[in-house]
């Protein structure tokens, strides 16, 4: 059974710092991995999607890496801003089968202090 773990559960950093969020998964048979952002009372916004054959994806100040064999992904946020404060969720899509369901971690609550 696929399980997704995110460390740390919460993180507080001063504005301008670079930071790394960690995600690990127990089964390397995945289709893809996604990082989402969730603001309070809002739905999920997809930040980056990494296919199983890829090693990393970049979007602006965000860079996500994927090491499928070790079951790990990291989300790197450069020069953090108060507007980055949110919960960050990673999710994997298991390979095989007819579904494209996502299995989520419990998230990392990020607070960027001005």
- Which positions ≥6 away from 29 have C-beta within 8 Å? 94, 95, 96
Residues within window 44-63 making contact with other proteins, judged by CB under 8 A: 44-46, 49, 51
Nearer to other proteins, 17 or 62 (CB): 62
Q: Which stretch binds other proteins (CB under 8 A): 13-21, 34-42, 62-70, 76-84?
A: 34-42
* Out of 41, 60, 83, 114, the residue judged to bind other proteins by CB under 8 A: 41
- Measuring CA to CA, which residue among 49, 52, 64, 60 is closest to residue 96? 52
Q: What is the dihedral of CA 4, 10, 72, 88, to 10 degrees?
A: 80
- Contacts with 44 (C-beta within 8 Å, 6 or more apart), sequence order: 36, 37, 38, 89
Count the site residues for other proteins by CB under 8 A.
Answer: 25
Q: Which stretch binds other proteins (CB under 8 A): 13-21, 62-70, 75-83, 91-99?
A: 91-99
φ/ψ (deg, to 5) at 104 = -100, 155
Check residue 69 for interaction with other proteins (CB under 8 A).
no
Residues contributing to the site for other proteins (CB under 8 A): 4, 31-32, 34, 36, 41-46, 49, 51, 89, 91, 98-107
């Amino acid at each position: 059974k696929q399980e997704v773990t995110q460390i740390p559960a919460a993180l507080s950093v001063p504005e301008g710092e670079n930071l790394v969020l960690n995600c690990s998964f127990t089964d390397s048979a995945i289709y893809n991995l996604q990082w989402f952002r969730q603001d309070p009372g809002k739905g999920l916004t997809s930040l980056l999607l990494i296919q199983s054959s890829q090693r990393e994806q970049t979007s602006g100040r965000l860079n996500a890496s994927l090491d499928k064999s070790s079951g790990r992904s990291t989300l790197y946020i450069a020069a953090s801003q108060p507007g980055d404060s949110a919960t960050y969720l990673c999710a994997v899509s298991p390979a095989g089968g007819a579904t494209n369901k996502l299995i989520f971690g419990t998230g990392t609550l990020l607070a960027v202090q001005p």
